[in-house]
Amino acid sequence: MRSNIPRRLEQLEQKAHIHAPQPLIFVTFVSPGKPCLSNRAECDDEVWERMPRETEEDFKRRVLQKLRRHEDSPTIVIFFPESAATV
């Protein structure tokens, strides 16, 4: 009987459209002693390029606004360092 409770609770939550928000994970690279700025971000098939004169924070904010998040798993966005994007 007790093993039935989690399954029943999940069914009730689905019917009530109660979903726990899935986490959003930003992966950025760091370098000792100097900042590591990003000029490209990727998530699944989506790619964003940082615009000229756009700050790092504005770039991350723009990516967050245009991002299509996953409903059933965490959404992972990778911000590539400037040097890695030009290679």
- Alpha carbons 19 and 41: distance in angstroms, whole number: 27
What pLDDT is stored for residue 84 in this prediction? 46
User: What pLDDT is stored for residue 10 in this prediction?
Assistant: 79
In angstroms, the CA 7 to CA 11 distance is: 6
**Cβ(57)–Cβ(65) below 8 Å:** no
Is the pLDDT assigned to residue 32 strictly greater than 70?
Answer: yes
pLDDT of 2 higher than 60: yes
Average pLDDT over residues 78-87: 69
Q: What pTM does this model have?
A: 0.67
Q: What is the pLDDT, as a whole number, of residue 53?
A: 93
For residue 78, give the H/E element and its range: strand 75-81
